[in-house]
Chains A and B, each alone.
Chain A
């Protein structure tokens, strides 16, 4: 099939970007979307031009590296599918596509379709863990976990940190991402001890990174490639409200260093 691509080209973080048009005369329907871009890039290199930069690694929909907008949708038109898993049979001959990076203040563009998502790491660092040092664990079966809780925790833990939820949100909120971790750990007995601290600290970091407020538009759930559910945001809000009343950051001077 034949396709026309309009791709956002931006040399570096401080350069202005613009859309450039490319014709793709010969696209095989069995190719993945990224393989189609590989073909374009090989062509550009042969012509002495710079290839289009986009992030990718596993190409199996699990590492969360890939992701950009196709016709205004993060990861493109197929539900529950990252762009690396999207195949060209989802498009038809003669279609014109617009490829742009994820747009959010907290995700500055680095080059072409590549953005900086390091804010996500800092949100996890603020409290997205169970504080258990290596070597001090009890036997795995000493903590029985209801199958249903384990399954629900797994549903939330399936988040790949791609950032599509942010890109799909009119407010560029990272609530779905943050709540997925809060819910994953909050649904398990191991996560209880730090539940309040986690909610307070992660939400504070979320704000500090410059993501927008959640106004429950629900776009994130609809466009998350891993089906992470909106109910997690409700869990996060509940945990946060409760913790905001009950939780106090330790007074550092009290015990001395």
Chain B
């Protein structure tokens, strides 16, 4: 099957592309909108915003999430902030600068036109959220406050204490509830999407499992949007919520939606280190802490003195030393690798030597404890609750952890996948962050996609088709439903000896060791058969208690892990073929003398787009060439 990787980038100068596209899009007559139905899977920032806006426009929307309420999507956990090129600080910010920083931050592996549009829309997002009543931080004069984030030299991050994601999501959730009340959106909470239904080459619906009753149902629509978040949980331990999963995008991939750059994973530099075998997730300490915290390790190897006993001149503030102009605010991939390097050198702190200090004593001395408390109080509390240590008196210990996946389903400029009628929004797509995402840019992308892009592009798609035409009894629907039911029965029937979590931890270990912060050919080649063997063992030896006709959390985990076990393999394949280092993808064979990522623009200035070929054959790798007309390809430097 030939796949079409036409990105459909509008012609004309980059500043005018989005306006031109909006003008060229076909419109659905207002009176006809309610005849069209759209399924939105996911109610995070991307899905919630899209469902609410499509409802406002008059379409017939069905929205789905697996939690008990749309308000609980993983976006709620975002702490630090959201970027926008408002230039309220008058510090030289502009749409072009945000665009430039994002392309450079992504190590030149994103599509320029998409990133430009994102920067352009960022401005309207803040306005929209303020209008909804999102309580952003304010200055005394009543205007909006900003802070700085990694990878930028201007202050363009808007925030609501350390709960920015929560407040943005609640804004979006409230808009969604308003549409639910108005009868324009029908909400299906506690529903897990298990498959996409493709009929005559178009996405026409989904198969879901009701997580309370276990009922497997088919839902039909004229278009389907997936906004199901990232797949960082393939590593088992990550900063993602426990339920975050890849099932929706993975099933779509197996139905023909190409998957781009699966190996691009972001490792966040500031997380609370692992404390024991029982560890179930990792907790992020927002990057905003790096505004005032200084990162250091002892200069000496194996120095086991308490932090306070180590004199100033025996400390290595390694980020400030290696990257003097960005210092503690170096981008995430760089800061994470630097932490790994000093720990690999035997200079790490805390149990197992897997940690570095994030020290606020200077800032407390300079600004006073009260200011620090105002800025980061809730983060300090979280830290203390988890570790039992008080970060006002001893430095925090932090270590990198899996945080975000830049890869995802391939989409064109319209956020449409290679399956017509299947749109992909938010972290679930691959579109804007290239090989590394800058802090505070995921919230921006989710809301840009959901509020301002997808409602237009989905409308354009709908205007080109007739509504309706299939129903739940269509043979494809029945087949997809029967397959989903059969898979569940198989999982329940194995009755093996190992729990789902045991398999998940094993997969996570392979992924972290061989396809994590640093990768090399030998390791990746070992990982492939290891994952395949683990998958085989899973289908022989997993045990899933209970039945399919009730709340069954083990079963939920099992269906998700079954997909992670396949996705992990694709990530390893992608990492193996990409023989360069870029952003979060660090191949040890390809580095500069100073240990920085060494891109190979001759061979790899493209998006790697994988096409499924059935379970018996290896997937095919296609390429979407990337052309940089506005930001010149250079080696990233934050020195």
Interface residues of A (CB under 8 A from B): 11-12, 28, 30-32, 34-36, 38-39, 42, 45-46, 48-51, 53, 55-65, 78, 80-81, 85-87, 89, 110-111, 114, 116-118, 120-121, 124-126, 128-141, 143-147, 150-151, 153-154, 157-158, 160-161, 184-185, 188, 190-191
Q: How far is the CA of A81 from the CA of B175 in the complex (A)?
A: 29
The one of A78, A89, A111 that contacts B550, using a Cβ cutoff of 8 Å: A111
- Let me know if B372 is at the binding interface, CB within 8 A: no
Closest Cβ of chain B to A26, distance in Å, is 10
B503 CB to nearest chain A CB (Å): 12
Is residue B280 within 8 Å, beta carbon to beta carbon, of the partner chain?
yes
Q: How far is the CB of B53 from chain A (nearest CB, A)?
A: 4
- A59-B241, A63-B76, A65-B72 known; A28 and B86 CB under 8 Å? no
Chain B residue at minimum C-beta to C-beta distance from A57: B241
Instruction: List residues of chain B with CB within 8 A of the CB of A157.
Output: 135, 160, 167, 170
Residues of B within 8 A of A153 (CB): 133, 135
Sampled A-B contacts (6; CB under 8 Å):
A58-B242, A136-B131, A137-B131, A157-B167, A190-B133, A191-B133
A-B pairs with the 7 shortest C-beta distances?
A: A144-B142, A129-B174, A137-B131, A137-B127, A125-B177, A125-B181, A154-B135
Q: How far is the CB of A92 from chain B (nearest CB, A)?
A: 15
| Cβ contact within 8 Å between A134 and B70 | no
CA distance A42 to B554 in the complex (A): 10
Query: Among B68, B77, B275, which residue has the most Cβ atoms of chain A within 10 A?
Result: B68
State whether A111 and B551 are in contact (beta carbons under 8 Å apart), knowing that A63-B241, A121-B69 are contacts in the complex. yes
Judge whether B90 is part of the interface by a CB distance below 8 angstroms.
no
CB pair A57 B72 closer than 8 Å:
yes
B385 touches which one: A28, A85, A131 (CB < 8 A)?
Answer: A85
Q: A117-B69, A147-B138, A147-B140 are in contact. Are A61 and B382 (CB under 8 A)?
A: yes
Are the C-beta atoms of B550 and A132 separated by less than 8 Å? no
Q: Are B545 and A87 in contact (CB under 8 A)?
A: no
User: Could you tell me if B144 and A141 are in contact, using CB atoms closer than 8 angstroms?
Assistant: yes
Contacts A49-B545, A57-B241 hold; do A124 and B130 have CB atoms under 8 A apart? no
Which residues of chain B are near A60, meaning CB under 8 Å?
77, 283-284, 382
A134 to B: closest C-beta gap in Å: 4
When the two chains form their complex, are residues B501 and A38 in contact, meaning their CB atoms are under 8 A apart? Answer: yes
Give the chain A neighbours of B499 by CB distance below 8 A. 42, 45-46
- The reply to whether B174 and A147 contact each other, CB–CB distance below 8 Å, is no
Query: Considering the chains assembled together, what is the distance between the CA atoms of A130 and B545 in angstroms?
Result: 45
Interface string of B154-174 (1 = CB under 8 A from A): 000000110101110010011
| Given A124-B177, A129-B178, A35 contacting B279 (CB threshold 8 A) | yes
Max chain A C-beta neighbours (<10 A), residue from B88, B135, B165: B135
Beyond A62-B76, A135-B451, A144-B142, 16 additional pairs, beta carbon < 8 A: A57-B72, A57-B241, A59-B241, A80-B381, A81-B385, A87-B386, A87-B388, A111-B551, A128-B174, A128-B177, A132-B131, A134-B128, A150-B138, A154-B135, A157-B170, A190-B132
- A53–B133 alpha-carbon span in the complex (Å): 36
A62–B165 CA distance with the chains assembled, in angstroms: 10
Q: Is B137 an interface residue (CB 8 A)?
A: yes
The residue from B144, B177, B455 contacting A129, defined by CB atoms under 8 A apart: B177
Chain B 17-55 per-residue mask, 1 if CB under 8 angstroms from chain A, else 0: 000000000000000000000000000000001001100
Contact B133 A85, beta carbon cutoff 8 Å: no
A188-B130 Cα distance, complex, nearest whole Å: 10
Residues of A within 8 A of B276 (CB): 28, 30-31
Tell me how far the C-beta of B517 lies from the nearest C-beta in chain A, rounded to whole angstroms.
22
Q: With a CB–CB cut-off of 8 A, which chain A residues contact B175?
A: 129, 132, 134
* Complex-state Cα separation, A143 to B144, whole angstroms: 9
- Residues on B lying within 8 angstroms of A by beta carbon are 49, 52-53, 56, 67-72, 74, 76-77, 86, 88, 124, 126-133, 135-144, 160-161, 163, 165-167, 170, 173-175, 177-178, 180-181, 187, 189, 212, 241-243, 275-276, 278-281, 283-284, 381-382, 385-386, 388, 451-452, 455, 499, 501-502, 543, 545-546, 550-551, 553-554
Partner of B280, one of A50, A59, A65: A59
Q: Which residues of A contact B284 (CB under 8 A)?
A: 60
Question: Closest CB-CB distance, B614 to chain A, in whole Å?
Answer: 33
Contacts of A64 in B (CB 8 A): 69, 71-72, 76
CB distance from A137 to the nearest CB of B (A): 4
Enumerate chain A residues within 8 angstroms of B139, measured Cβ to Cβ.
Answer: 147
- B401 → chain A, closest Cβ, in Å? 13
The residues of B that contact A150 with a CB separation of less than 8 Å are 135-138
Main secondary structure of the interface of A (DSSP, over half): loop
Closest to B388 in A: A89
The distance in angstroms between the C-alpha atoms of A146 and B145, with both chains bound, is 12
Chain A residues positioned under 8 Å from B140 (CB to CB): 147
Assembly CA distance A51 to B501 (angstroms): 13
Q: Are B280 and A38 in contact (CB under 8 A)?
A: yes
**A35-B279, A154-B135 known; A144 and B124 CB under 8 Å?**
no
State in angstroms the CA–CA spacing of A135 and B189 once bound together.
Answer: 27
> Nearest Cβ in chain A — how far from B208, in angstroms?
17
Chain B residues whose C-beta falls within 8 Å of the C-beta of A151 in the assembled complex? 135
Chain B hits for A49, CB < 8 A:
545
Q: Which listed residue (B126, B143, B212, B382) contacts A110, Cβ 8 A?
A: B212
Instruction: Take A110-B212, A134-B56, A146-B142 as given contacts and tell me if A45 and B131 are in contact as well, using a CB distance cutoff of 8 Å.
Output: no
Q: Whole-angstrom distance from the CB of A46 to the nearest CB of chain B? A: 7
Contact B189 A130 (CB under 8 A): no
Chain A residues with Cβ under 8 A from B451's Cβ?
134-135
Across the interface, which residues of B come within 8 angstroms of A118, CB to CB?
Answer: 68-69, 189
In the complex, the answer to whether A63 meets B283 with C-beta atoms within 8 Å is no
A185 B385 Cβ-Cβ under 8 A: no
Neighbouring A residues of B124 by C-beta, 8 Å: 135, 137
CB distance from A170 to the nearest CB of B (A): 25
Asked if A140 and B127 sit within 8 Å, CB to CB, the answer is: yes
**Could you say which residues of chain A place their CB within 8 Å of the CB of B382?**
60-61, 85
> How far, in whole Å, are A257 and B465 apart by their CA atoms in the complex?
28
Chain A residues with CB under 8 Å of B160's CB are 154, 157
Q: Give every chain B residue within 8 A of A35 (Cβ-Cβ).
A: 278-280
Shortest B186–chain A CB gap in Å is 12
How many angstroms between the C-alpha atoms of A39 and B279 in the bound complex?
A: 10
Structural contact, B177 and A138, CB atoms closer than 8 A: no
Interfacial chain A residues near B141, Cβ < 8 Å: 144
CB distance from B48 to the nearest CB of A (A): 12
Query: A131 touches which one: B129, B178, B243, B278 (CB < 8 A)?
Result: B178
B128 contacts across to A, CB distance below 8 A: 132, 134-135, 137
Q: Report whether B163 and A158 are in contact in the complex, using a CB–CB cutoff of 8 Å.
A: yes
Determine if B455 and A134 form an interchain contact, defined as CB atoms under 8 angstroms apart.
Answer: yes
- Residue of A36, A42, A130, A136 near B174 (CB, 8 A) is A130
CB distance A133 to B56 under 8 Å?
A: yes
- Of A34, A48, A86, A116, the residue contacting B68 (CB under 8 A) is A116
